[in-house]
Structure 1
Amino acid sequence: MKRDFQSFTLYMFGFLLLWEWLRPVEQLTTTDHIEMFVIFILLSFTLAFLRMKWIWQTIIKLWFILFSVNMFHYEEGFFQFSWITFFTDDLTTNFSRIVARNWLGLTNEFRTFLLFILLWLMVYLVHYWLLNRKRIFIFFFMTLIYITVLDTFTLYSAKTAIVRTVIVGFAVLGMLTYYRILARENLSGDSFTVRKWMRPLVIMITFSVIVGIISPKFAPIWPDPVPYLKAAGNKGGEDGVGKGVAKVGYGTDDSRLGGSFIGDDSVVFRAEAVEKNYWKVETKDHYTGKGWIPSESTLSRIGGEDLIPVSSIPSNVETQDENASLFMFMDYDHLIYPAGIQRVQFQRNYILEIDSIKEKVSILNGFDSAPIAPDSYSLEYKVPKYQATELRETVAADPNQIDAEFLARYTQLPDNLPDRVKELAESITEKETNWFDKAKAVERHFGGSGFKYSQSDVAVPGENDDYVDQFLFETKIGYCDNFSTSMAVLLRSIGIPTRWVKGYTGGEFLKYSEDDSKQIYEITNNNAHSWVEVYFPNQGWVPFEPTKGFTNSVSIDFTNNDGTTPAVETTAPTAPKPQESLEEDNSSTEKTEQTFSFSNFWLSIKTFFNQEWKWVFVLFVAVIGTTGLMYRLRGKWIPRLYLIQFRLRKRDENIGKAYLILLEQLERYGLKRNEDQTLRNYARYIDTFFASREMSKLTDRYEQYLYHQKLPEGSWKDTRELWENLIKKTIA
């Protein structure tokens, strides 16, 4: 009973110390549901205190982890096992990112899983330090360092945390010292001795804390290092100097475009749709010469399932109703939607806040109107099917069709735009008579050999440089922002209204849905993209894709009214076939020339797991079960391996290693040797247990070898028989 109370008290203090590591997480990060992690720590200590078998502890902890991951990140119920498929895919993807050292690419589900595993290991270490080693100073000291560093360099206030940690740390240090003294001096821990030791410990801790709280505090001698470190970290001038290399992905600030970036395959969302789509986030209408900004912001709110008033398609355009489901991997509080969006359906009641200029749809909580990031939602949208003959009807801006203010907004250009930009646009489109053919001519212009798609060595415009002018006439090297902005500016310079669109390309095909009616695509940060929309009064906003190597799946019928094809061939981009959708969008022509791709290698592995995950899971369970069974039966098969191993050895010096192996096997069998027990006393104990004299004889020969480093020649044969007899007796 005393032993249980001792363990319970130590476990309680260990739990309180470990809890201090979790308290700042919720305040300093976006991590929610901290209480579940605290419950996991408490559960782990409880299972250890109850001395439950390790296999049952493992099952209970794994069940709790999977239950928590399901509750945090998936809408499906825990016993609706379809979510396990996504989670298994997520584990496979994230393990490949760990191998590639892409730490920032780990998904939230995997981070949650890793945090649980980390806490599992921490509980085990605390258990080992407290109960086995009876030492906790290092962990106590590291806890103090952890909370003081956070208090210094973050917004976390550790005043009460330090007090709590000192109280708990001193208490557990005092208790462990007391129990070590009892064990070393072979004393009995009766109630009188406990009170005699604990009373001054409690008084000392209480007095120290009270004095520390009420004592006057001197002002800090050293200056605060945080402002200095922040200033050092923000070095770098304007105009791109010191800008460095950014990471690809969606961002909100497009006022200064340019510069190189590196790839990032972090998963943003998965889409289940009939075909591949471009996914919009927002548009921008004001070009500054360095980038894009919205000219103004007009906000309105609607219910979560109301008709979304963005980019309405005119009634004369033929459309097809479609729907898609998005499963989010990143916490974005804005809607990601295809062109022709009609409605969105959430699992809960949310409010949509719409910026009609940017066409950005923010998602708000219906109760307090705070931004919310849903885990998934379904979209209803219309897919337009344009007729080239109708698109070619617009040859100039008709005041009866286009409002003057609208036309001015979407043909706006900076006053200092170089004249050669407009001259280039006029030369490209001089043979065309309508807006559509002019837009297609400009789009084709960027497919020429003079332009190169690249994510590196991309120029940043200087103070006196125009972003588009620099790309068109000087560098001709860039990525989607360069191509799309340049097309928009070229068309604006000849009076055609355009706007700049941000979002994502269609992503990478993963598999078909369970009923084979839809395709599932995975969209990562590498799929972040920008393109152009051109306004036609009778057709609305129509997307164009100028970026070299990319294709937007816009349906345009190029046949004439009589069913014939025009002499001038102007084919629209076609949607990729399902079999081809395993290929990524060609962001660089160099990618297709590689004979081996590490990402493709991991793609093949991931595809295998997607198709064979059930058998992999069965194999994994079988391996774990076999490993556990072999560990449980190690008392039977390990001694037999030793018997085979030493039966083939002839040298007398084998007694040294064989005797030590025997001691380990006897301890594994349950005949543990005390720390202060001599070999002779231990040998007599073993002989008494087995009712023989074999252990004493073997010990005499071992000591002879130990002190003289030799034995009479040929003595190993008789010695081995003694050793084998003892080994066989330990086989359970």
Structure 2
Amino acid sequence: MMIQFERFYFAYLLLISYLLVLNVFNTVDLSLPLVVVFGCGILSLLFKRQQLLAGKWLIGLSVVLVLLGVLAFYAPSTGIRTTLTNWSAPVRNALNARGFYQALQHVTPSGPSRTGFSENDGQLGGPLLDDNTILFEATQQRSSYWRVESKDFYSGRGWENTAPEQSQFSRRSPLEHGTTFYQHAFSEPEESTVHFFNHGIYVPLPYGRSIVQATEGTTGFVFLEETGRVNFIDSNNGEKEILNQWSTPDYQLSDLAMIQPQLPLESQVDYLQLPNELPARIRDLAESLTANEETMLGKVTAIENHLKNNSDLRYSKVDTDFPPENQDYVDHFLFDSQVGYCDNFSTAMVVLLRSVGIPARWTKGFAPGDAGQVDSDTTVYTVRNQHAHSWVEVYFDSYGWLPFEPTPSFSNPDRPSTENSSAPADTAEESTDEVDQDTISSEAAESSFEEQSADQETDQRSPENRTLTVLLALAGVIAAGFFVGRRYLLSLQISWFNRFSKEPARRIYPLILKQVEKSIPRQPSETLRAYGKRVEAAESLFTGRFISFIDCYELMLYNKKEFEPLSTSELNDLVSITERLKKN
């Protein structure tokens, strides 16, 4: 049994569009399938029109296929792919922030990892999907990054830790945390209550000095002094709560401006470690960025600002890929892909700093979270998997380890303002979401579509939000144009055939008859003349017109010598009535 399928244009269009998207936004090369599918579409069209053997069609087909083949093979390797990817990146990031890709992953579970805190950072890279699962809620006055731990050993692929010494504290003896890696003054303390849900054993704490006491669901803590990490003693994942007397570091960047680079102490040598095979161009870049800076702060902020404000480096979770097997993770990000999220930017800053002899370490935890006001003095910060984040800590003499933020659109609230400082100020923008490796990752912060925290509110929409709004508005205009134009499609088609067809009547008459049949169906055994009488009886506007049209149509089909087309006014009246039938 032969199946005749004539309306294949849309199916071919969808398939070619899908292959083009895969070819542009993925590393897989689908150039040959594109040529084959396009060629099949042309052949299908020629078979339908029974013009396959016409010489001009074969020549035209050959030219089209050759041109398409050249474009398909060479266009992706030019700037076209980069331009399209960069232009559409805000839309993909916005879809990720809205949970679009996460919803798709429920249908096809295999795919990118999701945002969250990762215990294994040995292999960084790859795309990430947002996960909005709530991990904990903190009730306090000020926002803060939530520090979990730092890592010191960079392998060229990711981060590992040397074995830290552990100290254990019971619930009856509160844990004092933060004074070992920050040695300067603290502000007045405030009380913070943190309620943990099903999140794991690590304890994220705000920057500064914390005096932590367990109040629910746990018997105490384990403190890893070298990395600054605190774990619950209990390994179960039930709900827990802690009470924290928290004091923020009290310093200004201007206080650091006079500190000169100096030889690292013995305890800081591990934080200068780099792979033996680190590519030379990474060191060259670090030296060129810091060559004109004399102070420690100047060198640090020069590298930070290069990463944060460099238009060649693009922030995206869904477009980030893995480096090739034999290429350094930072080298691939800085010089080849130039696309990444917080893990890429923070790791690059640590490696660049170490390349010029500045002790730095990779730090991970969470961005402040989503702020919900309780009263004039207290805010509840809801922290989710998608707020997982990584940043940089740099050692300053007499101050200790201080946080720096190289990731675009992120602003660490624990970083003091640059007032009276020679260092440039950070941009207080809302943050975007992140993801990582294994089942969960090492990044995220406030999405550009989440509410901003109280100290970062602004009436300006993010570039992603503006882009999405424009695209949605454009899609609305196109959709409205489609539905409006669809009602007048017959007139447009007739105008086209009158202008460009050699025999317009042979195209126009069957088209009008087909449109009338959609409103008043014709019976299989019904003759054209009988159908014409029934149409005039059913629709008074056709009276005296449709029978004349049928007579003219039959003459065109069976007696071409006596055929004389309807006048323009008669044809326009017929089309107007037909379009009115479509509206009803």
Q: TM-score, normalised by structure 2?
A: 0.55
1:357 to 2:222 alignment: no
- Deviations along 1:7-56, one digit per CA (max 9) or x if unpaired, are xxxxxxxxxxxxxxxxxxxxxxxxxxxxxxxxxxxxxxxxxxxxxxxxxx
Q: CA distance change for structure 1 residues 279 and 376 in 2, over 3 Å: closer, same or farther?
A: same
CA distance in 2, matches of 1:461, 1:571: 32
In our comparison, the structure showing a higher alpha carbon Rg is 1
Cα separation, 2, equivalents of 1:429 and 1:531: 20
Instruction: Give the C-alpha shift of residue 419 in structure 1.
Output: 1.0
Aligned in 2, Cα 1:387/1:454: closer, same or farther, shift over 3 Å? same
Provide closer, same or farther for how the CA distance between residues 585 and 502 of structure 1 changes in structure 2, counting only shifts above 3 A: farther
Q: Which aligned pairs between 1:390-405 and structure 2 lie closer than 5 A?
A: 390-398=255-263, 402-404=264-266
Is 2:342–2:407's contact at 8 Å kept on the other side of the alignment? yes
Q: Provide the rounded CA distance (Å) in 2 between the counterparts of 1:289 and 1:269.
A: 33
Equivalent residue number for residue 544 of structure 1: 404
Residues in 1 aligned to 2:199 and 2:460: alpha-carbon distance in whole angstroms? 25
CA contact under 8 A between 1:508 and 1:584: conserved in structure 2?
no
1:575-654 alignment, distance < 5 Å: 579=454, 589-595=463-469
Aligned to 1:531: 391
Aligned to 1:156: none
Whether the 8 Å CA contact 2:272–2:354 is kept in 1: the answer is yes
- Aligned 1:39-438 pairs, distance under 5 A: 101=103, 244-304=111-171, 305-312=173-180, 316-348=184-216, 350-365=219-234, 370=235, 373-398=238-263, 402-404=264-266, 406-438=267-299
Tell me how far apart the structure 1 counterparts of residues 471 and 459 of structure 2 sit (CA, whole Å): 12
How far residue 506 of structure 1 moved from its aligned partner, in angstroms, is: 0.9
- Counterparts in 2 of 1:591 and 1:249: CA distance versus 1, 3 Å: farther
Residue 589 of structure 1 deviates from its aligned partner by: 4.2
Q: Distance in 2 between matches of 1:418 and 1:505?
A: 31
SS for the counterpart of 2:116 is coil
More helix by share: 1
**Aligned-pair distance for 1:574?**
5.5
Match of 1:358, SS state, is coil
Cα distance, 1:519 vs structure 2: 0.9
Aligned to 1:570: 424
Whether the 8 Å contact between 1:311 and 1:540 is mirrored in structure 2 is: no
Distance verdict in 2 for CA 1:316–1:329, change over 3 Å? closer
Measure the CA separation in 2 of the matches of 1:507 and 1:554: 14
RMSD: 3.3
**Mapped contact 2:137–2:380 kept (Cα < 8 A):** yes
The answer (yes or no) to whether the contact 2:197–2:237 under 8 Å persists in 1 is no
SS at match of 2:391: strand
- Any idea what the Cα deviations from partners look like across 1:319-376, whole Å, max 9, x if unmatched? 33233222223242221111114221222462211122222211114xxxx5565432
Q: Is the 1:363–1:372 Cα contact (8 Å) retained in structure 2?
A: no
Distance 1:289 1:261 in 2: 20
Spell out the pairing of 1:475-486 with structure 2 (5 A cutoff).
475-486=337-348
How far apart are the structure 1 equivalents of 2:159 and 2:463? 28
> Per-residue deviation at 1:558?
4.2
**What is the distance in 2 between the residues matched to 1:597 and 1:309?**
48
Q: Specify whether residues 504 and 298 from structure 1 end up closer, same or farther in structure 2 by C-alpha distance, changes over 3 A only.
A: same
Please state whether the residue corresponding to 1:595 is helix, strand or coil: helix
The 5-angstrom pairing of residues 663-682 of structure 1 reads none
Contact 1:312-1:340 within 8 A present in 2 as well = no
| CA positional deviation for 1:440 | 0.8
The structural deviation recorded for 1:299 is: 1.3
Instruction: Give the secondary-structure state (helix, strand or coil) at the position aligned to 1:320.
Output: coil
Cα 1:582–1:522 shift into 2, 3 Å: farther
In structure 1, how many angstroms separate the alpha carbons of the residues matched to 2:417 and 2:321? Answer: 38
The 3 A distance-change label for structure 1 pair 473 and 464 is same
* Matched letter for residue 335 of structure 1: V
Question: Is the Cα–Cα contact under 8 Å of residues 247 and 262 in structure 1 kept in the other structure?
Answer: yes
1:425-504 equivalence runs, <5 A: 425-446=286-307, 447-504=309-366
Q: Name the CA shift for 1:461/1:312 in 2 (closer, same or farther; >3 Å).
A: same
Distance (Å, rounded) in 2 between the aligned partners of 1:276 and 1:102: 33
Secondary structure (helix, strand or coil) at the match of 1:332 reads coil
| Residues 499-518 of structure 1 mapped to structure 2, 5 A cutoff | 499-510=361-372, 512-513=373-374, 515-518=375-378
TM-score (normalizing by structure 1)? 0.44
Shift of 1:408: 1.6
The answer to whether the 8 A contact 1:533-1:544 is kept is yes
Structure 2: runs of 5 or more not aligned: 1-97, 431-451, 473-584
**Aligned residue identity for 2:227:** K
After superposition, what is the alpha-carbon deviation per residue over 1:454-511, rounded to whole angstroms, capped at 9, x for unaligned? Answer: 112212122210000111111110000000000010001111111111111111122x
Distance 1:418 1:523, change over 3 A: same
Contact 1:553 1:573 survives alignment (8 Å): no
How far the C-alpha of 1:297 sits from its partner, in A, is 2.5
Q: Distance in 2 between matches of 1:291 and 1:354?
A: 24
Distance across 2 between alignment mates of 1:518 and 1:414: 46
Change beyond 3 A, Cα 1:575–1:316: farther
**Partner in structure 2 of residue 140 of structure 1:** none
Check conservation: 1:552, 1:573, Cα contact below 8 A: no
Total equivalences in the alignment: 349
Q: Structure 1 pair 263/591, CA: closer, same or farther in 2 (3 Å)? A: farther
| Separation in structure 2 between the aligned mates of residue 585 and residue 520 of structure 1, nearest angstrom | 24
Q: Distance in 2 between matches of 1:518 and 1:596?
A: 37
Q: Deviations over 1:619-665 (max 9, x none)?
A: xxxxxxxxxxxxxxxxxxxxxxxxxxxxxxxxxxxxxxxxxxxxxxx
Q: Which has the higher contact order (CA 8 A, sep 6+)?
A: 2
- Following superposition, the deviation at residue 442 of structure 1 comes to 0.8
The 2-side partners of 1:585 and 1:281 are apart by 32
d(CA) in 1 for partners of 2:321, 2:119: 21
Partner secondary structure for residue 253 of structure 1? coil
* 1:387–1:557 Cα contact (<8 Å) kept: yes
Flag the 1:573–1:274 CA change in 2: closer, same or farther, 3 A: farther
